[in-house]
């Protein structure tokens, strides 16, 4: 798993902030909690000590996970580029020809995807199908439900 992973600048910065918080705030706090729990005596029946050790294990695991993600991250910067086609990091507005609805998605990495926030993975069926298309293109996409939907790309932005 040493391959680089595309990531938006916003996501990269959010992971960096979380890592800083864990190292500067959470790690020292849990170490202090463990020391305090130890001072209460018998560790074999000390629920506070067990909870603090479990929290410490979680924090250390998350720190390692974040460091790994950041080390493999390839930040895609679209600043200064002309939004003439759908690429990783682009925000795309689509017109569904069947339902006549409009929907907007940002094409992001797998780690960042959150459909509730309008962020779809570049490896999802919709994300894959949109990459490389241009404004006003009509794109037929087999969606996860098994249906084939036709979308028209009505706007592309690089935010």
Structural domains present in the chain:
5-76 (1.10.287.180), 91-157 (3.10.50.30)
Task: Annotate 46-90 with three-state secondary structure.
Answer: CHHHHHHHHHHHHHHHHHHHHHHHHHHEEEECCCCCCCCECCCCC
Phi, psi of 81 (to 5 degrees): -85, 145
Report the pLDDT value the prediction gives residue 10, as an integer from 0 to 100: 87
Between CA 119 and CA 139 the distance in angstroms is 18
Between CA 139 and CA 157 the distance in angstroms is 18
Its pTM stands at 0.76
Beta bridge partners of 114: 119
Dihedral over Cα of 120, 125, 128, 134: its sign: negative
The candidate with the shortest Cα–Cα distance to 97, out of 132, 149, 141, is: 149
Between CA 99 and CA 14 the distance in angstroms is 36
Between CA 19 and CA 29 the distance in angstroms is 15
Report the pLDDT value the prediction gives residue 2, as an integer from 0 to 100: 58
Q: What is the pLDDT along the chain (159 residues), one digit of tens a residue?
A: 458 888 988 889 999 999 999 999 999 999 999 898 888 777 677 788 888 999 999 999 999 999 999 999 989 888 878 888 999 999 999 999 889 999 999 999 888 899 999 999 999 989 999 999 999 999 998 877 888 889 999 999 987
């Amino acid at each position: 798993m040493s391959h680089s992973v595309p990531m938006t600048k916003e996501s990269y910065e959010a992971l960096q902030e979380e890592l800083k918080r864990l190292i500067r705030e959470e790690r020292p706090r849990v170490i202090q909690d463990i020391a305090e729990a130890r001072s209460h005596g018998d560790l074999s029946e000390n629920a506070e000590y067990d909870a603090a050790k479990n929290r410490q294990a979680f924090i250390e695991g998350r720190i390692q996970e974040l460091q790994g993600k950041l080390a493999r991250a390839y930040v895609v910067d679209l600043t200064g580029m002309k939004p003439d086609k759908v690429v990783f990091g682009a925000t795309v507005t689509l017109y569904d020809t069947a339902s006549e609805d409009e929907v907007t998605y940002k094409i992001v990495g797998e780690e960042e995807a959150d459909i509730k926030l309008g962020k779809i993975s570049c490896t999802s069926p919709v994300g894959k199908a949109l990459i490389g298309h241009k404004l006003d293109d009509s794109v037929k996409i087999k969606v996860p439900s098994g249906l084939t939907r036709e979308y028209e790309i009505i706007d592309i932005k690089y935010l």
